[in-house]
Chain A
Amino acid sequence: PKTGSFKDEL
């Protein structure tokens, strides 16, 4: 899985 791709959520 790509790291940090959910970092655009709060």
Chain B
Amino acid sequence: MNIFRLAGDMTHLASVLVLLLKIHTIKSCAGISLKTQELFAIVFLTRYLDLFTNFISIYNTIMKLIFLGSSFSIVWYIRRHRVVRRSYDKDQDTFRHFFLMWPCLILAIFINEKFTLKEVMWTFSIYLEAIAILPQLVMLQRTRNIDNLTGQYIFLLGAYRAFYILNWIYRYFTEEHYVHWITWVAGVIQTLLYGDFFYYYFQSWKNNVKLELPA
């Protein structure tokens, strides 16, 4: 494992912890898209089907369990927790997210590395992760006023993607040259989606003003 991959995993982990911190201690999920969180839960569920059959390392297994557990508990909090669910801005979160799954599934059936259930589900999870942030970005755009923790959560998610791209570049030059078009293309698209957000995030940070997206 290289430093970029580790940095990517750690920012990913930090993003989840920031979100859980917000939900658990402030008992609020204001500004958070349930649709995006549901898609992330599906992403992890379909990607880690090999959790108990394909052992890679203790690190991998633990991280997978953390991502699975945290994504499902976040969804549970927003839907079921009697205090947290009241802060959910349902009217701002209207993205038809399950419609995003069909094109990903069809694409995974036709464009994959091997036509087996596990492989197609894994590919599906890669495609779905690339666009799972969309409902959240739409919600940000609508609410415009973003609290610090929500801003940090999305910033850390974007940082995770950026580090993964550096990781792939590093792996390309240091390992045997296998070409991973599926992960690369999906990963780059996913990272580009954060570009706009990053721009405004750094602007607000540089000028030391509250993060606010233009209408």
Contacts and interface: CB of A to CB of B under 8 A. Distances in A.
B60 A10 contact: yes
Nearest to A5: B178
B183 A6 contact: yes
Contacts of A8: 56-57, 60
A9 to B, nearest CB: 7
For the complex, would chain A's binding face be called helix, strand, loop or mixed by DSSP majority? loop
Name the interface size band of chain A.
Answer: 10 to 19
Contact of A10 (B9, B122, B180): B9
Nearest to B183: A6
Interface string B167-202: 100000000001111010000000000000000000
Contacts of B147: none
Most chain A CB neighbours (cut-off 10 Å) among B57, B113, B122, B183: B113
B54 interface: yes
Contacts of B183: 6, 9
A1 B208 CA distance: 47
Interface of B: 5, 9, 12, 50, 54, 56-57, 60, 63-64, 67, 113-114, 119, 122, 164, 167, 178-181, 183
Interface of A: 1-10
